[in-house]
């Protein structure tokens, strides 16, 4: 299961409040994996993953550019919510989610700017989230499946696109909650490099997308 809409709405007021809050009130995240970017040089890669893996990753980067020759890199920035907004968001969730506890759930704001494609990748830590698209511009999210196995270098998580095939696609709808599978390879494409995409969500530290789907099915119509 790659994505699944949640029929019921919740946290409507706090989502509007988050949408209207100035960006400088949020705390930008700079996790270690963000510093290991797809734009790293071969020397930077060698220092982190060794010569053999660095050469393989550079080859995969070239293959990616050849597969998507007209794309420019879309940048996603991640922000933590101020404590008061984070508490409000979690307090407004359905009871069965709140019962999971704060250690399981991490509120997040994501903003994408510039470029036309977030290349295929998979989550470094989170397996799944629920999120609501607050603003979009008809971006297409694509999930990919392996046609053959290949080594995943955790520091970069650049796939061998020759060994991927489209598994599912969706143009995500604004103002509607959904379950999102971060564990599988996925990418985002759009036609307008000047558009802005904003989504708010809850990352889950241990639960998979299927776990969340099962949980919602037991407690709410989905």
Q: Please list the pLDDT of the chain residue by residue as tens digits (222 residues).
A: 999 999 999 999 999 999 999 999 999 886 554 555 666 788 888 888 899 999 999 999 999 999 999 999 888 889 999 999 999 999 999 999 999 999 999 999 999 988 999 999 998 778 999 999 999 999 999 999 999 999 999 888 899 999 999 999 999 999 999 999 999 999 999 999 999 999 999 999 999 999 999 999 999 865
**Which of 119, 120, 93, 121 has its CA nearest to residue 106?**
93
Mode of pairing for the β-strands spanning 164-171 and 75-80: unpaired
Question: 0.85 exceeded by the pTM?
Answer: yes
Q: Which fold has domain 3-29+71-219?
A: Jelly Rolls (2.60.120)
Question: For residues 75 and 115, what is the distance between their CA atoms, to the nearest angstrom?
Answer: 7
């Amino acid at each position: 299961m790659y994505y699944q809409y949640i029929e019921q709405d919740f946290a409507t007021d706090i989502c509007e409040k988050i949408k209207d809050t100035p960006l400088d009130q949020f705390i930008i995240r700079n996790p270690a994996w963000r510093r290991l970017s797809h734009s790293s040089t071969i020397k930077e890669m060698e220092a982190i993953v060794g010569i053999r893996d660095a050469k393989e990753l550079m080859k995969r980067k070239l293959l990616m550019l050849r597969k998507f020759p007209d794309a420019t890199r879309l940048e996603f920035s991640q922000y933590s919510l101020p404590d008061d907004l984070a508490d409000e968001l979690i307090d407004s969730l359905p009871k069965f989610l709140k019962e999971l506890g704060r250690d399981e759930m991490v509120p997040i704001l994501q903003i994408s700017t510039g470029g036309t494609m977030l290349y295929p990748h998979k989550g470094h830590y989170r397996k799944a989230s629920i999120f609501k698209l607050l603003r979009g511009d008809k971006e297409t999210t694509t999930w990919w499946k392996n046609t053959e196995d290949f080594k995943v270098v955790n520091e970069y998580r650049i796939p061998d696109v020759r060994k991927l095939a489209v598994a599912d696609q969706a143009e995500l709808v604004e103002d509607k909650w959904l379950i999102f599978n971060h564990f599988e390879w996925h990418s985002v494409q759009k036609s307008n490099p000047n558009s802005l995409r904003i989504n708010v969500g809850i990352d889950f530290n241990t639960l998979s997308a299927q776990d969340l789907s099962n949980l919602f099915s037991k407690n709410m119509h989905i």
